[in-house]
Chains A and B, each alone.
Chain A
Amino acid sequence: MALEGLIGKKLGMTQIFDDRGVVHSVTVVEAGPVTVTQIKTATKEGYDAVQVAYGEKKKPNKPMRGHFKKLGDFRMLKEFKTLDGVEYAIGDKVGLEIFSEGDLVDVQGTSRGRGFAGGVRLHHFRGGPKTHGQSDRHRAPGSIGAGTTPGRVLKGQKMAAHMGSEYVTAKNLKVLAKDEAKGLLLLEGAVPGATNGTVTVYVAQKQRKIAKKKK
């Protein structure tokens, strides 16, 4: 444990057996490697963090190239905090060594976009009756407020809106296996986002709290 997380890619799901013969649904995530591009300090930037770069970009623009110097051409940047006071230098590569089997992780990703969705799909409204002379009311939201008092629709009223394409965190997923040669993590359960989507794998908040208590 050192860097609090890694940037990675969701590759898809499959099933594996454990020693007892129990099947686990797992998501395969290719995490890292990331390259340290900048160290932010409390004295200079006002807070401590490590900026890392991930992926490949064929044609990074000039400001980006200047920032990366000779380190390579990367696709994206992200900042992480460090845990346990480990210090990094610019150019360091960080990979799966920060996780071990049995660890809990939180995974952040952008959920699949579902477009403009109605109340039934977005908020699990029940819709209207299907029979008894109903027309055009089958998936309608129903009443959205009272009459003259208050004379307006209250703020926060659930209505049809855009669904998905938002940041979602799946918490406390267990690392069932890891393959350092291929850079793969097998996480128990589902991870937000589509296959080939970018995800961020963090050391689980719950695990950090446990580690803190032990100290």
Chain B
Amino acid sequence: MDVSNLVELSSNPNIEEFGPGDTVKVSAKVVEGERERIQVFEGVVIRKNKGGGGANFTVRRIAHGIGVERTFNVHSPRLEKVQVVREGRVRRARLYYLRGLTGKAARIKEKARV
């Protein structure tokens, strides 16, 4: 049994609320030898995994014609910031079907603004 509810988790105020299908800009700290810099990764959120301290989400983007997916830990101190660029309208929680699609077919409709 996971008892993460007993342990206080760090909540980062720079992480905006987002869901699967949203396009997000993720800023993560990367250590390069001695120095530390912030790397930005922009793409579509294809899944969110709950699970207390181990909660994570995966972002997919097409870089130089190749699909790249990166998984980030929500509670990691290395995760600097998450900004929502575009809210997508999707009908499922896990967008694995995007992996088989390219180009125009891989687009996601934008959520109607209220």
**Within the complex, which residue of A14, A21, A186 is in contact with B76, where a contact is CB–CB below 8 Å?**
A21
Given A15-B53, A21-B29, A28-B7, 7 new contacts (CB under 8 A): A14-B52, A15-B4, A23-B54, A26-B7, A28-B6, A179-B7, A184-B6
A-contact 0/1 string along B1-22, CB 8 Å cutoff: 1111011101000000000000
6 tightest Cβ-Cβ pairs between the two chains A and B: A12-B3, A21-B78, A15-B53, A14-B4, A12-B1, A15-B54
A17 CA to B54 CA, complexed, in Å: 9
A17 CA to B29 CA, complexed, in Å: 14
How far is the CB of A96 from the nearest CB of chain B, in Å? Answer: 14
Is there an interface contact between A14 and B77, defined as CB atoms closer than 8 Å?
Answer: no
Write the chain A residue with the least CB distance to B9: A16
20 residue pairs bridging A and B, Cβ less than 8 Å apart: A11-B6, A13-B2, A13-B3, A14-B2, A14-B3, A14-B4, A14-B7, A14-B53, A15-B54, A16-B7, A17-B10, A17-B73, A20-B77, A21-B29, A23-B73, A23-B76, A28-B3, A28-B7, A179-B8, A184-B6
Residues of A contacting B73 in the complex (Cβ-Cβ under 8 angstroms): 17, 23
A-contact 0/1 string along B48-65, CB 8 Å cutoff: 000011100000000000
Is there an interface contact between B3 and A17, defined as CB atoms closer than 8 Å?
Answer: no
A66 CA to B7 CA, complexed, in Å: 39
Is there an interface contact between A12 and B2, defined as CB atoms closer than 8 Å?
Answer: yes
Binding site for B on A (CB under 8 A): 11-17, 19-21, 23, 26, 28, 177, 179, 182, 184, 186, 195
How far is the CB of A174 from the nearest CB of chain B, in Å? Answer: 16
